[in-house]
Amino acid sequence: GENVEQHPSTLSVQEGDSAVIKCTYSDSASNYFPWYKQELGKRPQLIIDIRSNVGEKKDQRIAVTLNKTAKHFSLHITETQPEDSAVYFCAASPTSGGSYIPTFGRGTSLIVHP
Amino acid sequence: GAVVSQHPSRVICKSGTSVKIECRSLDFQATTMFWYRQFPKQSLMLMATSNEGSKATYEQGVEKDKFLINHASLTLSTLTVTSAHPEDSSFYICSAGEGYTFGSGTRLTVV
């Protein structure tokens, strides 16, 4: 099955700095890579995703890159704000019949200091 | 967008009792729903895949007789934790839909 490694486990930055979270995966059949943000005690929310036919995707201050050859993908947050503080999970999944079941990384606790 | 509702949000039960958690898709039909378990400061671990009208598919190491899943309609899946013990205390969360929308989660505490 799929194995997703995520680093770092904690990340502390100053407001305005950039934050980068990296993940690797093991299953070459994985072709969908979502990222989730989970605030304390709340449900994970999908913030951005990327498919294997794309190398990079950007949405305002958030961007994700994918290197399928190396089997790694990264989340980049620029101009961080205190409200970005949360746990971020990467995930990887193959798609089958239009559906997918992601395997999650262990999470990165991002702390943005004002 | 897709909305997934989960109830209850919190439950405290005595050891040995059973607890039922509901997961509903409010604005779409879901033939498949997923149940996850999350320990504090840890990742989401898939417990089982709930299939409407058929048996759930359990992940390795998850006891199907302890975690009963019923998916009787296209909008409702239930997870029943039977004979709960303190080690079952956790955050249980469901998801459904193409966007893999999560429910709000259920914090189970077994005392």
Chain A, 19-38: which have a CB under 8 Å from a chain B CB? Answer: 34
Q: Hey, are the CB atoms on B42 and A102 less than 8 Å from each other?
A: no
| Mean pLDDT value of segment A69-76 | 96
Closest CA of chain A from B7, distance in Å: 13
pLDDT at residue number B72? 84
Task: Please give the average pLDDT of every successive group of 10 residues along chain B, which has 111 residues.
Answer: 91 97 93 92 90 91 95 93 96 86 94 96
pLDDT at residue number A98? 60
* Interface mutation target, options A33, A101, A108, chain B, most CBs of B under 10 Å: A101
Give exposure, A27-57, as e/b (b: 16+ Cβ within 10 Å). eeebbbbbbbbbeeeebbeebbbbebeeeee
Q: Note the helical H segments in chain B.
A: none
- Report pLDDT digits (tens) over A44-66: 999 999 988 889 999 999 999 99
**From edge to edge, which strands make up the β-sheet containing A62-67?**
A4-7, A19-25, A72-77, A62-67, A56-59
pLDDT at residue number B99? 65
